Amino acid sequence: MRKIYPFLYCFFLFFSFCSQPQRQPDEVRVRLTSDPQTLNPANYSDPSGLRVINLLFNSLLGVDLADNELKPVLAESMPLIEQKGATTHITYELREAAKWTNGSAITSDDIAFTLKVLKAPLVQNEQIKPQVAFIRDLILDEENNRKFTFVCEGFTPEMELLSGDFFILPAYLFDPENLLKSIPVAAFSDSLSKLENNKNIKAFAARFNTAAFNNSGQQLQGSAGYVLEKWAPGQYLTLKQKDDWWGKSINVPHLTANPKRITLQVIPENTPALLALKNRQLDVLEDIPAREFDQLKTNKALLKDYTLFTPASYGSVYVGLNSRLPKFSDKETRQAIAHLLDVANYIKITQQQYATPTVGIIPPNLKEYYNTDLKPYAFNLVKAKALLTKAGWQQRQSGWFRNVNGTVQQLTIKLSYKASNTVLEATALIFQESAAKLTIPVEVEAQEGNLFNTNCREHNFEMMLRTLNGNPFAFNFEPLLHTSHAEKGGTNYTGFGNAESDALLQQINKAGTKAEKARLLKELQAVMYSEATFIPLYYLKERLAIHKRFGNTKVSGLKPYYDVSAFLLQK
Amino acid sequence: MLRYLFKRLLLAIPVLWVMVSVIFILSRILPGTFGEQILLADEGFYGNGAKQERALAYQQLLERTNQQLPVFYVGLTPLSESNTSQNYSYLLPQFTWHGAQNQYHLWVSALLTGSLGESFASARPVNAMIGEAAANTFWILSISMVLTMLLALVLGTSMVLGKGIRLRRIILPALIVLDSFPFFVLCLLMLLLFANPDMLQLFPAFGLGFLAPGHESGFLQTLQQFPYFVLPILCLVLANLPYLTNQFYTSLAGTMQAEYIRTAHAKGLTPFQVVTHHALRNALLPVITILSDMIPALVAGAVVIEVIFAIPGIGRLLVTSVLARDFPVIVGIVVVIALVKMLSHVVADICYALVDPRIKQDAR
């Protein structure tokens, strides 16, 4: 009998684990795929950090995920933009109700302080600094301490967005000794070498660069509706709703802090994240792999508690051909390769149909800008063969050959992509098979992320598969497609473009009306389609699940695909 | 014996130094630097700052983190930059002397003061980050190692005892099957079997649970976190059990053929007494070597375990740091692992001496 006791103890201990931890109904628990590197609002770089900082700090403008529109957050209204010669003046007025955690009002001085922190030398601000470099000076309104004007260099269409898209920092908390107050904003726009020896900046940087500004709830108190309650590194972060947040006193639907507590749980792998969802330990799960998402659709028990969403996202997959290489320098060859891309099959196999084919860089859901006159390239061996012949390639038993600068060259393709991306890997393998049908040898090469980026920048690739994230706010494609960005180190990796396309890109940026912009964007899509250097394949549909006890979830195609601060408990 | 151990420790220091230095230099030669994404901010529907501004910010970051400095005292001139048109001098490497202003020198200077530097990403001291992460890894690895050892000992001993042949027919094939599972797949299988409402929902699927502020330490925390450790430990035990059991069994079976074992049987001892009193000590010697060599393999296992079960530990910290090119953290972790490895060899030496007194004599 005595021998049975240890077994009984083990048995009860074993089954005591069966219960899952109890949940509070007014707590929203979401997943982070990685621990934030830092919560420093002046120097964040990773998406996890940005998601948390978004709940702690406000910016002047923000995106309302209910309609994907840019709306005023700390600003009273959208800014007034005036072009004055070589400069652009962007004038904002802050909301009267906007307050810091200690109850003091947010004023133009806080905006000036924020700009100084983001521009200062010696301070950890390298990630955000380039974003505000176009703001050269700040003019404060003498009569109204909530009104100010950014003096900006030149004009680009994204200026409105960028001028309102940085977190405003509390001067009273971050610089209690007013070390930066005496230095004007304009001084930070000139050569910074003089300021590097400034005692006040040195003292401020020494304090600001400490870990407290990266992870301490005491220090990271912004104007948004939450404070950092706890950060268990590598595990979770909990954010607590502020008791008397200013946003509650004004009736603005996109300014919300509804859940009492938000927990962001770090779960790097998809399998435990899916199990956490099935165990009701997560309220939201996004980026669900397509196959698993289809399985969830048939899980009746889960569907009782969760709603599944598939919003059209702004993320796409594209193929880039290095047009600088002699074998890809003519558009007939590139078009032939485009006809070997079996997009329908890619979508079926890698995305389980959760994607939409596209003719160009504009997402198909942006109907006013999308060129419906064009038809996406379809897999067509006959057309591909004809185009190769037209380009001067001759088919022999072992493949396609052409005389390039006096030497006979075979048409071979080296296709590279970022390693560990299974979607791109499958796409590359399908392409390899498709090309083999036309006796074109394709070498598939998965490259480590940093190496892949370096190779793209150095033009050290033949054909590549890559993802691209877009948005519905700005369409300045110059960095991606203008020839001025096509030198080594630039972001026009494929070498797309000529004088005409450059002019078109500049016209798009200067377009005065929506109709004109739409016409020019459609023209750009037609040019890109014909050139077939930068070939967008499809736009993804996001796949996410949200617990049914919450309403007002504001599901959107823009990251992070829902607004957790808006979640309301359903009655 | 103490003198011998001290000598071993002294000899281990240069080995450790060379190992860590090589890792330091290799990690810095990897393609990509920390903060490189600043240069990639144009990859979207608009530019996030002008190109030259981004280049300036990137330069500032490199200077702040000393990444712009040469890696080592001596550098090799790239072939593309050396003068190759005139003669065949490119056949010999061209060295450049960088002086003390290099990354290695600065890192070593800090290390001699006991500092592993600061994380590029979070500005936190690497010592503190490793200290935080090491606790979970230490418990998972220690408990799994002890359990694996005990189980392997029991299984190995059972297979050489009286009814061992029958047991062997079941256990050995089962262990081969278990060994054939890739570790990653084994972990996922355990999750899907024991943390899944569609199968058996016995254990939590991720993390270490939630603790209300103010209840972060003490016995209750350990008790609350215990269920979260069960599956990871079980996975590590199952992954290492086949090899260790096989080693125990082979070693014991070999020892059982010795003359003195026959004498022990002739003295009228029971088979169990023969194994425990006479065979086991000698059979343990090769196993001690294996155990001391297991540490790096266990750390590699911890990487997979901690990523899949979302447990913060050294393994996950290493993965995150490698992906972010957070060099001080990468090298800091390597230093710690190398130190543990060195200590495990010293512990193995002590164990040898305990198991076989002849070694103690030789050491004198």
Q: Say how far apart CA A458 and CA B41 lie, in whole Å.
A: 16
Q: Which of B296, B301, B254 is nearest to B279 (CA)?
A: B254
The alpha carbon of residue A317 and the mean position of all alpha carbons in its chain are separated, in whole angstroms, by 14
Per-residue pLDDT of A482-524, as tens digits, reads 999 999 988 899 999 999 999 999 999 889 899 999 999 999 9
B5, part of any domain: no
| Candidates A11, A19, A126, partner chain B, best to mutate (most B CBs within 10 A) | A126
Give the pLDDT of residue B346. 82
User: Residues A217, A231: contact at Cβ < 8 Å?
Assistant: yes
Q: Minimal Cα–Cα distance from B269 to chain A, Å?
A: 26
Mean pLDDT of A264-293: 95
Chain B residues with CB-CB distance to A474 below 8 A: 45-46
B57, part of any domain: no
Phi first, then psi: give them for residue A357, nearest 5 degrees. Answer: -65, 150
Q: Say how far apart CA A99 and CA A255 lie, in whole Å.
A: 13
Beta-carbon contacts below 8 Å between A and B: 204
Q: Does A477 touch chain B (CB under 8 A)?
A: yes
pLDDT at B361 over 70: no
B328, part of any domain: yes
The two three-digit tokens of residue B82, written as one number: 């050396």
User: Based on the structure, what is the number of domains in chain B?
Assistant: 1
Q: Does A536 touch chain B (CB under 8 A)?
A: no
Q: Give the number of other CB atoms < 10 A from CB of residue A69.
A: 12
Q: Report in angstroms the alpha-carbon separations of A137 from A100, A140, A186, A509.
A: 24, 10, 5, 23
User: Residues A35, A266: contact at Cβ < 8 Å?
Assistant: yes
B146, part of any domain: yes
Do residue A130 and residue B38 have CB atoms under 8 angstroms apart?
yes
Mean pLDDT of B265-294: 84
B196, part of any domain: yes
B27, part of any domain: no
DSSP three-state, residue A495: coil
Q: What is the mean pLDDT of chain A?
A: 93
Peptide bond into A560 cis (omega under 30): yes
User: Residues A339, A387: contact at Cβ < 8 Å?
Assistant: yes
Question: β-strands A407-410, A399-404: how paired?
Answer: antiparallel
Chain B residues with CB-CB distance to A451 below 8 A: 31-32
Give the pLDDT of residue A195. 86
Q: Give the number of other CB atoms < 10 A from CB of residue A325.
A: 15
Do residue A133 and residue B49 have CB atoms under 8 angstroms apart?
yes
Nearest CA in chain A to B226: A17
Chain A residues 326-355 within an 8 A CB cutoff of chain B? none
Do residue A18 and residue B201 have CB atoms under 8 angstroms apart?
yes
Q: Minimal Cα–Cα distance from B216 to chain A, Å?
A: 10
Q: Does A469 touch chain B (CB under 8 A)?
A: yes
Do residue A162 and residue B211 have CB atoms under 8 angstroms apart?
no
Q: Minimal Cα–Cα distance from A512 to chain B, Å?
A: 18
Chain B residues with CB-CB distance to A214 below 8 A: 122-124
Q: Report in angstroms the alpha-carbon separations of A65 from A61, A253, A472, A564.
A: 13, 11, 12, 10
Nearest CA in chain A to B35: A127
Phi first, then psi: give them for residue B310, nearest 5 degrees. Answer: 55, 45
B263, part of any domain: yes
Nearest CA in chain B to A165: B48
Q: Which of A72-76, B76-80, B173-177, B188-192 has the lowest mean pLDDT?
A: B76-80
Q: Minimal Cα–Cα distance from A396 to chain B, Å?
A: 38
Report the length, in residues, of chain A.
571
Nearest CA in chain A to B321: A37
The two three-digit tokens of residue B165, written as one number: 């042949």
Instruction: Provide the H-helix boundaries in chain B.
Output: 2-29, 51-64, 103-112, 126-160, 164-180, 183-194, 219-255, 259-266, 271-273, 280-308, 314-324, 327-355, 357-363
| Candidates B45, B198, B199, B307, partner chain A, best to mutate (most A CBs within 10 A) | B45
B101, part of any domain: no
The two three-digit tokens of residue B10, written as one number: 């002294």
Nearest CA in chain A to B324: A37
List, in order, residues 6 or more apart from A440 with CB less than 8 Å away. Answer: A340, A399, A400, A411, A412, A413
The two three-digit tokens of residue B350, written as one number: 């002590």
Q: B201 or A147, which is more confident?
A: A147
CATH of the domain at B138: 1.10.3720.10
The alpha carbon of residue A484 and the mean position of all alpha carbons in its chain are separated, in whole angstroms, by 24
Tell me the CA end-to-end span of chain A in Å, nearest whole number: 54
DSSP three-state, residue A514: helix
pLDDT at B108 over 90: yes
Give the pLDDT of residue A22. 66
Per-residue pLDDT of A184-240, as tens digits, reads 999 998 776 778 889 999 999 999 998 888 888 888 999 999 999 999 999 999 999
Could you list the residue range(s) of the whole structural domain that residue B298 is in? Answer: 126-363
Exposed / middle / buried, residue A500 (Cβ in 10 Å: 0-12, 13-18, 19+): exposed
Do residue B40 and residue A491 have CB atoms under 8 angstroms apart?
yes
Per-residue pLDDT of A370-428, as tens digits, reads 999 999 999 999 999 999 999 999 999 889 999 987 889 999 999 999 998 999 999 99
